Amino acid sequence: MTRLVLVRHGQSVGNNEHRFSGWTDLGLTEKGAEESRQCGRLLAGAGYEFDTCFTSVLARSVDAGRHVLDAMGQSELPLTRSWRLNERHFGALQGLNRSQGVRKFGLLKIWRLQRSYTIAPPALDEDDPRSPRVDPLYTQIPVAGKDLPLGESLEDTYARVIPYWESAIGPELREGRRILIAAHKNSLRALIKHIEGLSDRDAVHLQIVTGQPIIYRMDSDLRAVERLSIGKPARKFFRFIGISPA
């Protein structure tokens, strides 16, 4: 059976400042870099090696993938980067910290959009400097500008991530390639929902720790058969607690 390893990037500057980072291109803190290196050391110690590493285009995901691979002695492995693995886009909340978000939009609205699978934040204007449609990072992406979001629910994030899983990642797994995905809390929630067959409600409440490897044994249909921890099988698939800004 194929094995797949997922890891959420280590602590980012946005995590440390309690911001809704979304597509804001923030890097890792030193703590986050070390969390990612420690993940690599754990994987190397358990005998893991990779043929492909997928990341988003955001620096915190790219840097996490690099730190993991460097710690494993696989620094030569190229990264495959895609905006479709980016974090959920937090729209007009993007870049705000929790208290700023509550002051601007109200506690109830913030509470609802964090705990709903279908509710999206207020959208950015297309010409907002935070919009990916005016961000130089995305000018070379060969997609229509309207495909780049101005705000997303988790449902929208799922709809962005899973076609990439099916078109790019899945075929490599079926060929027996050993894959690492270094991504974000909500893009990983989308992937885990798909491969574990979780309900919408359960996906919203997934808790994904920074810098901790999530290891799956996959069947031929690329569904999770077992979730492993380093060195021994985990007794259960994910069960769920609260949410914080990504």
Q: How many CB atoms lie within 10 A of CB 163?
A: 11
Nearest to 74 by CA among 48, 108, 111, 104: 48
Owner of token pair 């997303």: 152
Q: Give yes or no for a contact between 12 and 184, defined as CB atoms under 8 angstroms apart.
A: no
Q: Are strands 214-218 and 2-8 parallel, antiparallel or unpaired?
A: antiparallel
pLDDT value at 134 more than 90: no
pLDDT in tens, 189-222: 999 999 999 999 999 999 999 999 999 999 888 9
Q: Give yes or no for a contact between 185 and 90, defined as CB atoms under 8 angstroms apart.
A: no
Q: Give yes or no for a contact between 119 and 113, defined as CB atoms under 8 angstroms apart.
A: yes
pTM: 0.91
For the chain, give the mean pLDDT. 90
Domains and CATH numbers, the chain: 2-233 (3.40.50.1240)
Q: Could you confirm whether 49 is annotated as catalytic?
A: no
Among residues 35, 87, 89, 184, the one annotated as catalytic is 87
pLDDT of residue 231: 45
DSSP β-bridge partners for residue 228: 215, 233
pLDDT of residue 5: 98
Q: Could you confirm whether 9 is annotated as catalytic?
A: yes
pLDDT value at 240 more than 80: no
pLDDT value at 39 more than 80: yes
Greater confidence, 246 or 116?
Answer: 116
pLDDT of residue 46: 95
